[in-house]
Amino acid sequence: MFEKGCLAGKVVFVAGGTSGINLATAQRMHDLGASVFVMSRSEERVTAAVAGFADPLRAAGLAGDVRAFEQVEAAVTACRARYGLIDVVVSGAAGNFLARAADLSPRGFRTVIEIDLLGGFHVFKAAYPALRRPGASLINVSALQAFVAMPSQAHACAAKAGLDALVRALALEWGPEGIRVNSIAPGPVNDTEGMQRLAPNDEARTDLTRAIPLGRWADKRDIADLAVFLASEMGANISGAVLVSDGGYLAGRMS
């Protein structure tokens, strides 16, 4: 259990922070005392997300597309102008859909690469000048597709594997400055748009649950708490890691 106020004084920037895991992470860090700035493509979603935080003085946001570096840079600049140097960056914007490789258009493949991989690079590069050194924690939200091939997921497998490789490279380059860079790879998570697409019916959900040794899907809070751990002093010696939270799903697939 994290102590209330354990993130007091921290500034958190969350890309893709208006829905799903990323919004839950932003809300959890806000509840633990951080000032939070969220960004996503939809201005309406940004407004709604900001309105949902308990303390309006510690919540703000700006609409922007992670595929456009200048828009990410503008959001980071706005965050720094409002709250000062950034302590935690969560890069979680993602795009996905089911499509077999033979049917996948080059545009569809490129779109996922641009949102996930290029977007992740944009977020971290734009945030770099505004980071508090030493002590900044950069957290990428990855996926199990980075580890195991999945049918109809060639685009996501490529994007997430690239992201995790980027995380390791940045951990090497930025570690000497006291900047930690890590990935979180969730397994199936309840009440998320991504899993609604990947397991759209009861049969698919049941089959997937059977493959999880713990017999349960994660809640968004499970992933949010893992991000809090990486952002806190408890994760002070962790960098270049990909932390999996999947109930044991990968255990029988990587031996």
Contact 217, 209 (CB under 8 A): yes
Torsion-angle region of 152 (φ positive above 0: left; ψ -120 to 50: alpha; else: beta): left
Catalytic choice (10, 160, 183, 232): 160
Q: Quick one: which H or E segment has residue 78?
A: helix 69-83
Tokens of 246: 């999947």
Q: Is 10 a catalytic residue?
A: no
Catalytic choice (40, 142, 232, 239): 142
Q: Report the residue count for the chain.
A: 255
What is the spatial distance between Cα 162 and Cα 225, in angstroms, rounded to a whole number?
Answer: 24
Longest dimension (CA), the chain: 51
Residue with tokens 């685009």: 155
What is the spatial distance between Cα 143 and Cα 108, in angstroms, rounded to a whole number?
Answer: 19
Q: Is 142 a catalytic residue?
A: yes
Q: Which residues contact 30 (CB under 8 A, 6 or more apart)?
A: 12, 36, 53, 54, 55, 58, 59
* 119-127 and 154-174 helices, crossing angle to 10°: 20
What is the spatial distance between Cα 233 and Cα 242, in angstroms, rounded to a whole number?
Answer: 18
Residues annotated catalytic, as ranges: 142, 160
